[in-house]
């Protein structure tokens, strides 16, 4: 009965490839997020979706495209992967658009070779 | 933009000792979240503080928000190996009606037996 789940947990790929990460929450929350944690452990928001609508886009390169088929799912597709994309990507959800505690998934460690 | 500075960046303590982690904000805090991250896992929500002078406790962990709402501290009493991990503070904010959390750089806690 995992609250926020992500797949895959690990992703190793070559530069230039395209990959996707999936996220699902069973908390009934309206809002979902993607965060990137770099090698120095800085955790920064990338995107925020509310009921399938994009509400925050933190100047992330166009190669990153989030998609929310319904409010329980938020996927992240990355085109033309670069070395600098290597990081841990976390999905999170919160009850409301404007606040509430965010609950995080276990993370996806992406390594670009 | 709001920035959070955590200190210390890393901490090694003997099991059974008390310790404190600080989180200082560049602006007034309207909400402050504490999370714990274990290696290979997602962020686990610990506590959320909103009011100046507020203090919350969960088991052996106590978090406080100062009266001026610019600094928070996390205190662990009689530390145990299970307390080891990375502690992150996150400032609550709203951008265009949407919640945006800004995180500190994290404090890595090691507990020596």
Distance CA B82, CA A56 (A): 35
Closest-CA distance, B101 to chain A, in angstroms, reads 7
What DSSP designation does B39 have?
A: T
What does the pLDDT look like over A2-11, one tens digit per residue? 799 999 999 9
Q: pLDDT confidence of B89, banded at 50, 70, 90?
A: very high
What does the pLDDT look like over B12-38, one tens digit per residue? 999 999 999 999 999 999 899 999 998
Q: What is the pLDDT of residue A103?
A: 95
> A7 and chain B: CB distance < 8 Å anywhere?
no
Closest-CA distance, A98 to chain B, in angstroms, reads 5
Neighboring chain B residues of A50 at a CB cutoff of 8 Å: 98
What is the pLDDT averaged over residues B82-108? 91
Do A102 and B99 count as a contact with CB atoms less than 8 A apart? Answer: yes
- A74: its two tokens: 């938020």
How much is the mean pLDDT over chain B?
93
Do B42 and A104 count as a contact with CB atoms less than 8 A apart? Answer: yes
Distance CA A74, CA A11 (A): 18
Distance CA B18, CA B48 (A): 21
- A26: its two tokens: 């069973």
Q: What is the pLDDT of residue A90?
A: 97
> Three-state SS for A92?
strand
**Which chain A residue has its CA at the smallest distance from B99's CA?**
A98
What does the pLDDT look like over A41-83, one tens digit per residue? 789 999 999 888 898 888 789 999 999 999 999 999 999 999 9
What does the pLDDT look like over A15-44, one tens digit per residue? 999 999 999 999 999 999 999 998 887 899
Do A90 and B43 count as a contact with CB atoms less than 8 A apart? Answer: yes
> Could you give the maximum distance between any two Cα atoms of chain A, in Å?
38
Q: What is the pLDDT of residue A1?
A: 62
Do B31 and A99 count as a contact with CB atoms less than 8 A apart? Answer: yes
């Amino acid at each position: 009965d995992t609250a926020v789940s992500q797949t895959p947990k690990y992703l190793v790929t070559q530069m230039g490839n395209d990959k996707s990460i999936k996220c699902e929450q069973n908390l009934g929350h309206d809002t979902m997020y993607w965060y990137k944690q770099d090698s120095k452990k800085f955790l920064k928001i990338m995107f925020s979706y509310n009921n399938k609508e994009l509400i925050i886009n933190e100047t992330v390169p166009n190669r990153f495209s989030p998609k929310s088929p319904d409010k329980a799912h938020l996927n992240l597709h990355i085109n033309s992967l670069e070395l600098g994309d290597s990081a841990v990507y976390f999905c999170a959800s919160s009850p409301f658009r404007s606040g509430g505690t965010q609950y995080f998934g276990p993370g996806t460690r992406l390594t670009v070779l | 933009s709001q920035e959070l500075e955590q200190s210390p960046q890393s901490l090694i303590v003997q099991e059974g000792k008390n310790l404190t982690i600080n989180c200082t904000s560049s602006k007034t805090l309207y909400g402050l979240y504490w999370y714990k991250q274990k290696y290979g896992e997602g962020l686990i929500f610990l506590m959320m503080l909103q009011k100046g002078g507020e203090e919350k406790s969960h088991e052996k962990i106590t978090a406080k928000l100062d009266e001026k709402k610019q600094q928070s501290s996390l205190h662990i009493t009689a530390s145990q190996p299970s307390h080891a991990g990375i502690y992150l503070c996150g400032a609550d904010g709203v951008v265009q009606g949407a919640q945006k959390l800004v995180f500190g750089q994290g404090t890595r806690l090691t507990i020596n037996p």
